[in-house]
Amino acid sequence: MKNWFRYRPKLSVFLGILAGFIILLALLALKPFSLRGIFTPDPAQNYEDALTRIKTIQTEEAALDLHPECASQLQTHGDKTDKVIIFLHGFTSCPEQFVALGQEFYNRGYNVYIPRTPRHGFNDRRGEPLKGLTAEEMAEFAHQTADIAQGLGERVIVSGISGGGAMATYISQEREDVNIAAPIAPFLGIGFIPRQLNRSFANLFLIVPDIWQWWDPVHKENNPLSAPYSYTRYPLHALLENMRLGYAAEADAKRTRPAADKIIVITNANDESVNNSVVAEFEQMWKEHGEENLVTFQFEESLGLPHDLITPTRPGARVDLVYPKLLELIQ
């Protein structure tokens, strides 16, 4: 054996490096995900309290260099309603993404609140404000939003897509005053990376220097699929912090059943951005807790829907099919 290594020095070095890398990936896969700090709920006491909090947020946003369509939006009937739905937009998008779907729920008697998630919605479409985004920042925002919802409706529904879906997943595990959590295509893992390697990938790239990524490396700032208010690039660490939030929720889900009364998980079989196998792991954990109130639905691959199946102007979105199904599932 010694002679084998002696006469194959280059191959020996390669195999040694490969073995070390495999061991590193295994260790990173075992590294636990958790959030720093404690988030204490502070639910709004009534409609006026919720409205005051929203107006404070909107006043602060008015002083920022935001895209005209990207401020937090409230569609209200003027008083506390039987149901309120919160829509959390996707990573690098902004509240405008959910305005049309929100109107559908508003027309059915819901109060609808679509907040701007941290560091999103700025006129700088190159995504510079995302630098430094953390899972803790998103968790605090998610709790703040759930607090506001308590004053807007008797029954609270929290939904969101992609990064917003990761926050909805986190809230489903943490808030017992949420009646329904409905994550849509939640970004809990990267689609093109095998399920078993997603945790290792997230842990590895969160400890190396940050790098910037274009959604469309060819067209860059002229991405034809990007909405005019969305960022066209992002720092990789910010993307992975969404996964860290989801995996922190998963760590809780391994120990305790979800706090929300009901969970509706909505996925897209044609989705190439998120990893549906990772989402399925969450579903299985909730089932193991005896979660009778878990509902799952997946849009068929044959529909050819994009990851962003909410934005009406997104090519291939088919909101004529998607919106009625979401209304059916969530109502």
Contact by Cβ (8 Å): 264, 231: no
Quick check: is 219 in a domain?
A: yes
Tokens of 156: 């609270």
In this structure, is residue 18 part of a structural domain?
no
Backbone angles phi, psi at 15, to 5 degrees: -65, -35
| 26 belongs to a structural domain | no
Q: Is residue 3 part of a domain?
A: no
DSSP-assigned states of every residue in 216-256: STTTGGG-TTS-TTS-SEEEHHHHHHHHHHHHHHHHHHHHS
Q: Which domain holds residue 262?
A: 67-330
What total number of domains does the chain contain?
1
Q: Give domain status of residue 252, yes or no.
A: yes
Q: Quick check: is 84 in a domain?
A: yes
- Tell whether 220 is covered by a domain: yes
CATH number of the domain where residue 202 is located: 3.40.50.1820
In whole angstroms, what is the distance from residue 228 CA to residue 327 CA? 26
Amino acid at position 89, single letter:
H
In a domain, 44, yes or no: no
127 touches 210 (CB < 8 A)? no
Residues 252 and 214: their CA atoms lie apart, in Å, by 33
| Predicted confidence pLDDT, tens digits, the chain (331 residues) | 555 555 555 554 554 554 444 444 444 444 556 788 878 899 999 999 999 999 999 999 999 999 999 999 999 999 999 999 999 999 999 999 999 999 999 999 999 999 999 999 999 999 999 999 999 999 999 999 999 999 999 999 999 999 999 999 999 999 999 999 999 999 999 988 888 888 887 888 888 899 999 999 999 999 999 999 999 999 999 999 999 999 999 888 888 889 999 999 999 999 999 999 999 988 888 888 877 789 999 999 999 999 999 999 999 999 999 999 999 999 8
Decide: pTM greater than 0.85: yes
Axis crossing angle, helix 163-174 with helix 236-255, rounded to the nearest 10 = 30
